[in-house]
Amino acid sequence: MIFEIILTIALCLLMLAIMANVYRVIKGPSSADRVQALDSIGINLIASIAIFSVLLHTHAFFDLILLIGILSFIGTVAFARFIERGVVIERKQ
């Protein structure tokens, strides 16, 4: 029972963290800040899903955790390339 309450509190805190990140996404000021915030949201989502899986006693969401890890990495790299070079995928020369 207490365990569940702790988990729920943790979830709520993660929610707060996500909200804070959303604030950063909106506020900016530069694109890099926003991309960072987005990356951070992804990591927070991983954590929330993990806690949630414990709460639900299921391992159905483990794939998702891995996937978010990969996607968040790819997404951040794509954004970074975009900000730096203006293109995501370069043509073969």
Partner 1 sequence: MITFYIFIFLPFLFAFLVPFLYKYLNRQVHTGWFVLFVPLSIFIYLVEYIPAVASGATFEYTLSWIPSFGIDITSYMDGLSLLFGLLITGVGSLVIIYSIYYMSKVREALHNFYIYLLMFMGAMLGLVFSDHLLVLYGFWELTSVSSFLLIAYWYERKGSRQGALKALLITVLGGFGMLAGFIMLIMMGDTFSIREIIANMDAIQGHALFIPALLCILLGAFTKSAQFPFGIWLPDAMEAPTPVSSYLHSATMVKAGIYLVARMTPIFGGSAVWFWLVAGIGLVTLLYGSLTALRQTDLKALLAYSTISQLGLIMSLLGIGSLAVYFGPGETGTVFTVATFAAVFHLFNHSTFKGSLFMVVGIIDHETGRRDIRYLGGLMQVMPITFTIALIGGFSMAGLPPFNGFLSKEMFFAAVNDVSHAGIFGLNKIGMLFPIIAWVASIFTFVYCMIFIFKTFGGAYRPERLTREVHEAPLGMLISPIILGLLVILIFFFPNVLGEYILIPALTAILPGMPISGHDVKISAWHGLNTELIMTIGVVVIGLLLFRTARRWIQVMRNYPQGLTLNHFYNQGLSGMEKRSASLTDRYMTGSLRHYLIYIFSFFVLLLMSSLLLLHGIQIDFSNNAAISIYEVGLVIAMIIAAFTVLLASNRILAIVSLSVLGYMVSMFFVIFRAPDLALTQMVVETVTTVLFLLCFYHLPKMTKKIERIPFKLTNLVISVAVGLTVTLLALSANGHKLFEPITSFFENAYELAGAKNIVNAILVDFRGFDTMLEISVLTIAGLGVYILVHQRVKRRGQREIK
Q: Residue 21: is it exposed, middle or buried by C-beta count within 10 angstroms (0-12/13-18/19+)?
A: buried
Asked if 25 is part of the footprint of partner 1 (rule: CB under 8 A), the reply reads: yes
Asked if 88 is part of the footprint of partner 1 (rule: CB under 8 A), the reply reads: yes
Q: Tokens representing 41? A: 């949201």
* Residues that bind partner 1 in the complex, under the rule CB under 8 A: 8, 11-12, 14-16, 18-19, 22, 25-26, 28, 31, 34-35, 38, 41-42, 45, 48-49, 52, 56, 58, 60-61, 63-64, 67-68, 71, 74-75, 78-79, 82, 86-88
